[in-house]
């Protein structure tokens, strides 16, 4: 079997290195990998960054409401202070996320909790404990963007019918490793998809 990435258990983060691909996780019992190619990578945004994004978005909206409608109210200063506090909270959440990730890496753990398992039925997309199968016939395009947003990783996204940009969205993975290995892994992923669709 062909692989790229640190290959931890997507469900619990256990370092599966040295383990047979098909073996279940000894830590949490989650399934192993069964396809001819498996690629692990980081999520596009980490959970704290997403939460911080939500909080700052709310603060921006409140700020807009304040400026447009409430600026003449006697209590507008109090609202402005509340908005400032929300921005601080967002920054704190984001910072805590950075600290947590540094700790995970320092302890020898992996942040790669997305796994794409190229099985005979399609791409089995595993994101933490959740899992969904994207049949090759439903994949319309496999987008890849190397060096995405200065991360040094390649962003790969499957545009598929039956999925939407909305809730859940198209599956996305941030592929890491040396840049030549990233290029190579993406080429192998695209080849698997083309062969799965019967185009190669």
Provide the β-strand partners of residue 4.
39
C-alpha–C-alpha distance, residues 38 and 55, integer Å: 35
Binds Zn ion by CB under 5 A, chosen from 27, 131, 138, 159: 27
Please tell me the count of residues contacting Zn ion according to CB under 5 A.
Answer: 8
Under 8 Å between Cβ of 71 and 98? no
Residue 142 in the binding site for Zn ion (CB under 5 A): no
Residue 58: count of CB within 10 angstroms of its CB: 14
Which lies closer to Zn ion via its Cβ, residue 109 or residue 146? Answer: 109
Residue 66 in the binding site for Zn ion (CB under 5 A): no
Binds Zn ion by CB under 5 A, chosen from 30, 31, 80, 194: 30
Residue 7 in the binding site for Zn ion (CB under 5 A): no
The span of 13-21, 80-88, 99-107, 160-168 binding Zn ion (CB under 5 A) equals 13-21
Provide the β-strand partners of residue 143.
157
Which lies closer to Zn ion via its Cβ, residue 23 or residue 28? Answer: 28
Tell me which H or E stretch contains 55.
helix 47-65
Residue 4: count of CB within 10 angstroms of its CB: 21
Task: Compute the least distance from the CB of residue 28 to Zn ion, in Å.
Answer: 3
C-alpha–C-alpha distance, residues 13 and 43, integer Å: 13
Residue 11 in the binding site for Zn ion (CB under 5 A): yes
Residue 25 in the binding site for Zn ion (CB under 5 A): yes
Q: In this structure, are strands 114-118 and 37-41 parallel, antiparallel, or unpaired?
A: antiparallel
Residue 38 in the binding site for Zn ion (CB under 5 A): no
Task: Compute the least distance from the CB of residue 93 to Zn ion, in Å.
Answer: 26
């Amino acid at each position: 079997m062909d692989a790229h990435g640190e290959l931890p258990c997507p469900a619990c983060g256990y370092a599966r290195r040295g383990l047979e691909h098909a073996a279940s996780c000894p830590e949490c019992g989650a399934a192993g990998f069964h396809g001819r190619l498996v690629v692990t990578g980081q999520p596009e945004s980490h959970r704290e960054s997403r939460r911080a994004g939500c909080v700052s978005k709310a603060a921006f909206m409140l700020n807009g409401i304040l400026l447009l409608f409430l600026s003449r109210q006697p209590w507008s200063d109090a609202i402005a202070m509340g908005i400032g506090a929300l921005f601080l909270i967002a920054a704190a959440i984001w910072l805590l996320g950075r600290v947590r990730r540094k700790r995970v890496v320092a302890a020898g753990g992996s942040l790669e909790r997305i796994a794409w398992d190229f099985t005979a039925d399609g791409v089995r997309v595993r994101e933490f404990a959740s899992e969904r199968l994207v049949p090759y016939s439903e994949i319309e395009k496999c987008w890849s963007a190397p060096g995405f947003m200065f991360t040094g990783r390649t962003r790969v996204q499957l545009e598929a019918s039956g999925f939407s940009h909305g809730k859940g969205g198209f599956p996305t993975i941030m592929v890491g490793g040396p840049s030549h290995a990233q290029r190579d892994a993406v080429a192998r992923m695209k080849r698997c998809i083309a062969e799965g669709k019967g185009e190669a």
